[in-house]
């Protein structure tokens, strides 16, 4: 029998620390990013300011793009080209092992924190639709590598200004974005598995052992890379958007 003198909070947990701060921050940052990314994707404008392309629209694969990367889709596509590619990084993050922990805790309260009772009465794990789809994380990882290659390409193009070779603040912004997303992608658990996690013994595969050890080192910081790359990719879109709409001007170094 539960002690009737307990408050609701005490009923859920005996923890006395501020355990609710972390889930609350996840709701704020992840929720805020989701709202901003949806808004930015719906705009279908101000995503290119020569020579910078927003990562939310890269690669731009519709013939209607302001800056076409690859014209894979004809001009019949009249929705935002962001929708053609955003499902890849979106799916990659949504099925990420770390983000799953973060949003199960904060959005579903399942459980909200260690030693805090679940909000739901029953628990079915990831055995039913749509959570069954979490199993395709490794395929999102492969697809994300493709997107990543285009983001590095965008970084190289960010040196090619209409008046010739140069470098501006935007070049650095796009470079940092590609680097942070690389750290996030290569520290992924699926990447670690692909690099040697499936072996029973490293004895006959010293090269795989070295790669696996390196990726394991990156993997320890996966949570940090997840947050920093998320915030930076959003800021990169903001930067290109403000340039394209004429609110700010890019500073050129040369
Ligand atoms: S991206 Fe986080 S585990 Fe793969």
Strands (E), the chain: 48-49, 52-53, 160-161, 164-165
Distance CA 147, CA 58 (A): 7
Give phi and psi for 229, each to the nearest 5. -70, -30
**pLDDT tens profile 136-155:** 999 999 999 999 999 999 99
Average pLDDT, the chain: 94
- The CA 235 to ligand 1 mean position distance, Å, reads 21
At 244, is the secondary structure helix, strand, or coil? helix
Question: What is the domain count for the chain?
Answer: 1
Assigned domain for 10 exists: no
Average pLDDT over residues 21-47: 97
- Domain containing residue 54: 18-244
Assigned domain for 75 exists: yes
| pTM as predicted | 0.93
What percent of the chain has a predicted confidence (pLDDT) above 70? 96
Per-residue pLDDT, 2: 47
Assigned domain for 254 exists: no
Answer yes or no: is pLDDT of 1 > 90.
no
Per-residue pLDDT, 124: 80
Residue 121: pLDDT band with limits 50, 70, 90: confident
Whole-number Cα distances in Å, 250 to 40, 49, 173: 20, 10, 11
User: To test ligand 1's pocket by mutation, which of 180, 188, 233 has the most ligand atoms within 8 angstroms of CB?
Assistant: 188
Paired with 127 in beta bridges are none
Assigned domain for 8 exists: no
- Residue 93 CA: nearest ligand 1 atom is 1
- The position carrying tokens 């076409």 is 68
User: To test ligand 1's pocket by mutation, which of 30, 94, 98 has the most ligand atoms within 8 angstroms of CB?
Assistant: 98
Answer yes or no: is pLDDT of 125 > 90.
no
Assigned domain for 252 exists: no
Distance CA 213, CA 240 (A): 37
Assigned domain for 44 exists: yes
Answer yes or no: is pLDDT of 3 > 60.
no
- The position carrying tokens 């403000």 is 242
Assigned domain for 150 exists: yes
Among 181, 197, 183, 214, which Cα is nearest to 138's? 197
Answer yes or no: is pLDDT of 190 > 70.
yes
Answer yes or no: is pLDDT of 14 > 60.
yes
- Binding pocket residue ranges, ligand 1, CB within 6 Å: 92, 96-98, 137, 141, 188-190, 222
Assigned domain for 142 exists: yes
Distance CA 187, CA 225 (A): 8
Per-residue pLDDT, 4: 52
Residue 119: pLDDT band with limits 50, 70, 90: confident
Among 89, 94, 97, 88, which Cα is nearest to 188's? 97
- The CA 219 to ligand 1 mean position distance, Å, reads 9
């Amino acid at each position: 029998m539960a002690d009737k003198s307990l408050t609701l909070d005490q009923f859920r947990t005996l923890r006395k620390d501020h355990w609710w701060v972390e889930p609350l921050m996840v709701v704020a940052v992840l929720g805020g990013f989701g709202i901003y990314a949806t808004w930015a994707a719906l705009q279908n404008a101000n995503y290119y300011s020569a020579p910078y392309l927003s990562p939310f629209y890269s690669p731009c694969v519709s013939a209607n793009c302001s800056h076409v990367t690859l014209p894979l889709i004809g001009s019949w596509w009249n929705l935002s080209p962001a929708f053609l590619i955003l499902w890849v990084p979106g799916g990659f993050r949504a099925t990420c092992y770390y983000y799953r922990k973060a949003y199960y805790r904060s959005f579903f309260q399942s459980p909200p924190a260690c030693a805090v009772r679940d909000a739901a009465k029953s628990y079915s794990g990831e055995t039913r639709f749509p959570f069954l789809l979490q199993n395709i994380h490794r395929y999102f990882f492969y697809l994300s590598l493709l997107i990543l290659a285009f983001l590095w390409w965008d970084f190289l193009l960010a040196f090619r200004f209409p008046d010739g070779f140069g470098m501006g603040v935007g070049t650095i912004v796009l470079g940092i974005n590609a680097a942070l997303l690389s750290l996030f992608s290569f520290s992924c658990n699926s990447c670690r598995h692909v690099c040697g996690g499936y072996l029973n013994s490293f004895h006959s595969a010293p090269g795989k052992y070295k790669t696996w050890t390196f990726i394991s080192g990156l993997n320890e910081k996966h949570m940090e890379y997840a947050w920093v790359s998320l915030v930076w990719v959003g800021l990169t879109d903001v930067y290109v958007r403000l340039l394209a709409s004429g609110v700010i001007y890019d500073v050129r170094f040369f």
